[in-house]
């Protein structure tokens, strides 16, 4: 086994100190001393572009092995946060440590711990698929004797073995995304940053990708991912922060956020575009809360079927009705009054 870039840095004293100084939290796997070991801590992390606070004083900690999500709409500050973690964008203020290291002070060391999948694929279109992995590995100073078998292993993992000799521009969007993920794993990182890993992919391609990310999680890789897909956040994240306009609106597991901010079920009613806005008064008192959207009315209730019976009992006849479980979309709507994807 060759020496890997990611293993050249022994766990620093700073990281030990950081873990024990962190505020107590129920999250995280306990270390020998019983304190959670955080691989990332952000305190009041802020990034300004002129007058715009792209990231406006956010704080969070991520224990090793967790799948941690940043869920928010376009412009929320997700990519800016990822770039600061990845050490490619300097913060304006606040504290940030990755494995106990400050990415602004120890850029190369921090990057050696990380795999990065940026929002836009930046593969070398001129090179063949396998060569993309080899050339990238050379940036880390990894020897060919290590890189060649590793590239083959990663192509297998990314289900791209039969594309090894293809040009990158011949790949589908989903294949390019998987190749970018394979490339990010070349240095066996313990932390993987994924900025909108599945945006723009069709459902089948997304599911293949989710499956690969699950496997990495099973191997103990810490996943930090951004998304504006609530189903992706629910599928992949152990814990997440809901971000909007550079600020954290809520934090927790998908289930706990839904418990805290929504009801167990939601009854969706469509009365036709003319009536949705006016029917609200007639629905008053059904369920715990009512939300009127342009195309439908949402009734938040513990028991959606019972709520629907009450709607019928009042003589109201919606064009369509649907009872579903609450989702993170409902949480976001509750917190911001807006839909995640406009």
Binding site for ligand ADP (CB under 6 A): 49, 52, 54, 72, 74-80
Report in angstroms how near the CB of residue 80 gets to ligand ADP at its nearest: 3
- Interface characters, 113-132, with Mg ion (x: CB under 5 A): ------x-------------
Distance in Å, CB of 298 to Mg ion, minimum: 28
Alpha helices in the chain (DSSP H): 13-21, 78-85, 107-113, 129-139, 144-157, 173-184, 203-218, 230-236, 254-261, 280-283, 304-313, 328-336
Q: Which residue, 70 or 158, has its beta carbon nearer to ligand ADP?
A: 70
Q: What does 239 interact with, of Mg ion, ligand ADP, none (CB < 5 to 8 A by kind)?
A: none
Q: How far is the CB of 104 from ligand ADP (least distance, A)?
A: 17
Structural contact between residues 226 and 54, judged by C-beta atoms closer than 8 angstroms? no
In the complex, the smallest distance separating the C-beta of residue 70 from ligand ADP, rounded to whole angstroms, is: 8
d(CA 71, CA 333): 13
Pick the closest to residue 262 from 298, 221, 220 (CA basis): 298
Q: C-beta of 101: minimal distance to Mg ion in Å?
A: 24
77 binds, among Mg ion, ligand ADP, none (CB under 5 to 8 A by kind): ligand ADP
- Alpha-carbon distance 203 to 211, whole Å? 12
Q: Which residue is nearest to Mg ion (CB)?
A: 79
Task: Output 243 or 307, the one with its CB closest to Mg ion.
Answer: 243
326 binds Mg ion (CB under 5 A): no
Stretch 49-78 residues interacting with Mg ion (CB under 5 A) = 78
Q: For the beta carbon of residue 305, count every other beta carbon within 10 angstroms.
A: 12
Residue 79 binds Mg ion, judged by CB under 5 A: yes
Q: How far apart are CA 190 and CA 33, in angstroms?
A: 22
Q: Tell me: does residue 81 bind Mg ion (CB under 5 A).
A: no
Distance CA 64, CA 139 (A): 26
Q: Which is nearer to ligand ADP, 33 or 120 (CB)?
A: 120
Please provide residue 308's backbone torsions phi and psi, each rounded to the nearest 5 degrees: -65, -40
Q: How far is the CB of 229 from ligand ADP (least distance, A)?
A: 13
- Of 70 and 298, which CB lies nearer to ligand ADP in the complex structure? 70
74 binds, among ligand ADP, Mg ion, none (CB under 5 to 8 A by kind): ligand ADP
If the CB atoms of residues 79 and 89 are measured against Mg ion, the closer one turns out to be 79
200 contact, one of ligand ADP, Mg ion, none, CB 5-8 Å limit per kind: none
- To Mg ion, the closest distance from the beta carbon of 47 in angstroms equals 13
Q: Give the Cα separation of 118 and 76 in Å (integer).
A: 16
Residue 54 contact among Mg ion, ligand ADP, none, beta carbon within 5 to 8 Å by kind: ligand ADP
Strand boundaries in 220-306, DSSP class E = 222-227, 239-244, 247-252, 265-270, 289-292, 297-301
Q: How far is the CB of 76 from ligand ADP (least distance, A)?
A: 4
Q: Indicate left, alpha or beta for 282 from its phi (over 0: left) and psi (-120 to 50: alpha).
A: alpha
* Pair 171, 129: CB distance under 8 Å: yes
- The contact set with Mg ion (CB under 5 A) reads 78-79, 119
């Amino acid at each position: 086994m060759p020496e890997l870039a990611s293993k050249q840095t022994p766990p620093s004293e700073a990281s030990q100190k950081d873990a024990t100084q962190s505020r107590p939290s129920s999250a995280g796997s306990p270390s020998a001393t019983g304190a959670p070991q955080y691989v990332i801590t952000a305190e009041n992390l802020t990034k300004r572009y002129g007058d715009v606070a792209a990231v406006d004083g956010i704080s969070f900690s991520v224990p090793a092995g967790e799948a941690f999500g940043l869920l928010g709409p376009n412009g929320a500050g997700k990519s800016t946060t990822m770039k600061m973690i990845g050490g490619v964008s300097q913060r304006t203020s606040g504290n940030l440590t990755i494995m106990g290291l400050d990415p602004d002070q120890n850029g190369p060391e921090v990057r050696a711990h990380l795999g990065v999948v940026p929002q836009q694929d930046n593969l070398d279109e001129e090179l063949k698929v396998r060569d993309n992995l080899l050339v990238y590995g050379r940036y880390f100073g990894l020897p060919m004797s290590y890189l060649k078998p590793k590239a083959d292993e990663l192509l297998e993992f990314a289900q791209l073995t039969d594309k090894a000799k293809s040009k990158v521009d011949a790949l589908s969007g989903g294949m390019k995304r998987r190749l970018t993920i394979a490339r990010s794993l070349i240095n066996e990182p313990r932390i993987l940053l994924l900025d909108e890993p599945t945006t723009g992919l069709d459902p089948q391609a997304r599911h293949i990708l989710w499956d690969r990310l699950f496997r990495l999680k099973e191997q103990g890789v810490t996943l930090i991912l951004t998304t504006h897909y609530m189903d992706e956040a629910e599928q992949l994240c152990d814990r997440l922060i809901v971000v909007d306009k550079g600020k954290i609106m809520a934090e927790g597991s998908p289930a706990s956020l839904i418990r805290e901010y929504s009801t167990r079920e939601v009854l969706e009613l469509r009365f036709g575009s003319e009536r949705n806005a006016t029917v609200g008064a007639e629905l008053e008192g059904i369920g715990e809360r009512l939300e009127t959207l342009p195309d439908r009315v949402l009734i938040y209730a513990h028991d959606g079927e019972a709520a629907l019976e009450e709607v019928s009992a009042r003589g109201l006849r919606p064009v369509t009705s649907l009872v579903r479980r609450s989702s993170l979309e409902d949480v976001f709507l509750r917190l911001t009054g807006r839909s995640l994807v406009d």
